[in-house]
Amino acid sequence: MSQAAEAGAAATASDDKITCHIDNVRVHSIQAHIEKNHKSDWTVARYQAEFPGEPLFSQTALDLIARKKAEAAAAAAVAEQTGAAPVANMATSVAAPAANKITVSTAFFHELFELGNAQAAMSSKGQPIPVKVLNGHDQLSADYLPEVDKSYVFNIDLLKKVIIGLELNMPTYLWGFHGTGKTTILQQAAAKTRRPFIRVQHTINMQESDVLGQWTVKSKPVEVEEIGPDGAIVKVQKQSSVTEYQLGPLPLAMINGWVYCADEYDFAMPSVTAVYQPVLEGQALLIKDAPPHFRKIVPHPNFRFVATGNTNGIGDETGLYQGTLVQNAANYSRFAITEEVEYMAASIETAILQSKTGIDAASAGKIVKMANEVRKMFRDGKITMTVSPRELIRCASLGIAYGGNWTLGMELAFANRLSRVDKKVVQEYMQRVFGAAA
């Protein structure tokens, strides 16, 4: 809509009109009045020349023009940050982008995750389990699709619980020792089901603005109106510093229907994780400091919330995870699914080592046996550190590089970080498992 037409829309108002000196009619917009009644012999430029200093718009018209410009700027800001098409009238809430036309197909759980015909991959009645797969993402969402790791070996029971959370829109919290694959299984489940995935690391220094968004200053071209040499109003492009509200990762995920992974959840201050509580309940997110068009964020139907941590919110019971905090029980109670992720069965861990490093089955079995000995010693209080699958993968890779020296691989990847007392205990077990000449 042109500026003249916008101002003309105010012509029915009865207050603060201005007088057109052509015919002494009171109007809101001289420009609109000339176009409608005196177009044949008058122009705005002539009017300004013959009646210098006289206003062209009433205050009502100017307010209307300013409001329309603000709405257009708000729509452009939403389009820029969310990938949505700009809309004419921006409401005070943001919902799913119209341009993001997702198509949903169905695949069977055991086929999608390449689990074969394992009984554990079927329903309790032995039937295939249907799983939704999303396609048709716009470019912004496609950039957040995680890559499928073809060498990843799924824990079927844990995977089922993750998929239930995604299918039924139940917030899911996975916790346990480091390196048990908490974040990875969430990421790979999203990759296989084609759900964009955004991972946000939590720390004790994290603030609400890191999650929700904040005001920022940008330099960008803006369109301004100036009076030209002939007295007409012209629009020109100029660089200007503008203040914009930059959406944080949570509202972006909610608007676009992504999986939001709150990683290291128990490292954040409870006052920060409190902002998640309405979202965990499936409600809209209210950002009190945001401009009106970003103040209420309505979750996309495909939005999902998952989180990981080393504790279950009651504090670190092992002494391994400095920085984790005792969390608010009311916050944790809003997770529909909570699962402790333990180290994998020896057969699965052996398969992972083989797929990730190409190590032979016998040597992989020895490394896993050594790892389970370390974990047992940790549980029995004989040493103060446990070993994770990621360290075993490094051990195997280093051992291969050193011509099958698994002892050296284990030392470089794990044992050299232990106290001298713990390292001596572990080295004794390495001699038993790998042999003195290893």
Cβ–Cβ < 8 Å for 20, 46: no
**Cα–Cα dist 392/178, whole Å:** 13
The predicted-structure confidence for 190-213, as pLDDT tens digits, reads as follows 999 999 999 999 988 999 999 999
Q: For the chain, which ranges sit under pLDDT 50?
A: 1-14, 85-91, 98-99, 437-438
User: Cβ contacts of residue 112 below 8 Å, gap of 6+?
Assistant: 131, 133, 192, 193
Residue type (1 letter), 224? V
Note the pLDDT of residue 403. 93
Note the pLDDT of residue 86. 45
Whole-prediction pTM: 0.69
Cβ–Cβ < 8 Å for 208, 269: no
The predicted-structure confidence for 49-70, as pLDDT tens digits, reads as follows 889 889 998 888 887 777 777 6
Note the pLDDT of residue 181. 83
Note the pLDDT of residue 379. 81
The predicted-structure confidence for 111-128, as pLDDT tens digits, reads as follows 999 998 888 999 989 999
Residue whose entry in the numeric block shows the structure tokens 């930059």: 246
If you write DSSP's letter for every residue of 270-312 in order, what string do you get?
Answer: HHHHGGGHHHHTTPPEE-TTS-HHHHEEPPPTT-EEEEEESS-
Nearest one of 109, 307, 135 to 189, comparing CA atoms: 109
Give the three-state DSSP class for 410.
helix
**Cα–Cα dist 259/308, whole Å:** 13
Nearest one of 342, 371, 352, 351 to 434, comparing CA atoms: 371
Cβ–Cβ < 8 Å for 248, 211: yes
